[in-house]
Amino acid sequence: MRFPILTTALAVLSTSSTLVAGRTYLFAFGDSYSKTLWDPTGAVPTEQNPIGNPALPGSTSAGGMNWVGFMVTKFNTTSVFLYNFARGGAVVDKTLITNPVFYPTETLDFVHQVQLFNDTLTKHPTKPTWAPWTGQNAIAAIWIGGNDIRNTWTILDMPNRHKRMITRYMEQVENLYTLGVRKFIFLTTAPTYLTPLQQKLTAAKYNRLISAVTNFNTQLLASVAAFKTSHPKATIRTVDTGPAFMTAFQNPTDFGAATATCYNSDGKTCLWFNDYHPGYYIEELVAVDVAKAWGGSFQCKEAICSNTASPTPVPTRTA
């Protein structure tokens, strides 16, 4: 799949941006937990709106700011511009999903998000003047897999299906490296078994879903470690998203929620925006952990960075 309309459309955008010393260019890939619905043919990031378009916080599934928004407005130590290719419902590669439970037809999977990145930020015939990124000042952040698991956790050959997905995932990482990206943040798939929707599962199904998330993440981390070994010039950080979710889930009243499973579209009254998407505070906790893991362009000095309870492991169910 190509995006032939972009070359023409991008030509009319403002080209006033220039290389600014110390600025970081953040490229986000993923699903609804990361999306802001940036339109590459619309306004480009500026100091006034570092996500470009829509207006902050963007079109999120959190009821407000999500983790990438926090990275460019709250936990950044310098100017950070976000180019967000994440889309709601995204999977790694939609051709690997048979009979999908949930997959909007308009969604870009990770494969096509990387293609869009290539068509938007590396061609024309050179990088656009409004995004003069280099391997030294740009970071690719990838958080995807929740919808893949949602579509595969009940099948018998789930580990083998995950293996194919992770192989395809890492092929896209290799593509990004070939295109010049040298810095990567890999976020593990979220513990979606904590969502209000999945908390309703029977014990057997709940434990199966935990196993599926663990299997996907184990394979992902092993593949990332292998990539790091074979690409010594790459700077790589991994972030386990589990603690952010579990901290809020096990201490809901600390974040203003009456229970661990209530949800509200305002994103703040409850931990969850709806029965499957985290709200403002869980997203902020994810951003905290990313800032701590990366350092450099990101730093966390807020109270939330040190005054939250440490989560304990979520046990499997017996009944």
Q: Average pLDDT for residues 45-65, to the nearest whole number?
A: 96
Q: What is the CATH number of the domain that holds 32?
A: 3.40.50.1110
Q: Residues 196, 213, 190, 171: is their CA dihedral positive or negative?
A: negative
Q: Average pLDDT for residues 28-34, to the nearest whole number?
A: 97
Chain segment 75-103, per-residue pLDDT in tens: 999 999 999 999 999 999 999 987 666 55
| pLDDT score of 9 | 35
Bigger pLDDT: 284 or 103? 284
For residue 311, being part of any structural domain is answered with no
| pLDDT score of 12 | 33
For residue 7, being part of any structural domain is answered with no
Q: Average pLDDT for residues 221-234, to the nearest whole number?
A: 98
pTM beyond 0.85: the answer is: yes
The two tokens of residue 103 are: 């997959």
The two tokens of residue 62 are: 């959190």
For residue 4, being part of any structural domain is answered with no
Chain segment 296-312, per-residue pLDDT in tens: 999 988 888 887 777 87
Chain segment 285-300, per-residue pLDDT in tens: 999 999 999 999 999 8
For residue 1, being part of any structural domain is answered with no
Q: Report the length, in residues, of the chain.
A: 319
pLDDT of 23 over the 80 cut: yes
Count of C-beta atoms within a 10 Å radius of residue 310:
9
Task: For residue 48, give its domain range.
Answer: 21-305
pLDDT of 7 over the 90 cut: no
Q: Average pLDDT for residues 226-250, to the nearest whole number?
A: 96
pLDDT of 1 over the 70 cut: no
Residue type for position 210: I
State the total domains in the chain.
1
For residue 15, being part of any structural domain is answered with no
What is the edge-to-edge ordering of all strands in the sheet holding 235-239?
80-84, 24-30, 138-143, 183-187, 235-239
Percent of the chain with pLDDT over 70: 90
Q: Average pLDDT for residues 264-283, to the nearest whole number?
A: 97
| pLDDT score of 273 | 97
For residue 12, being part of any structural domain is answered with no
pLDDT of 2 over the 70 cut: no
For residue 2, being part of any structural domain is answered with no
pLDDT-derived band at 5, boundaries 50, 70, 90: very low
List beta partners, residue 140. 27, 184
For residue 189, being part of any structural domain is answered with yes
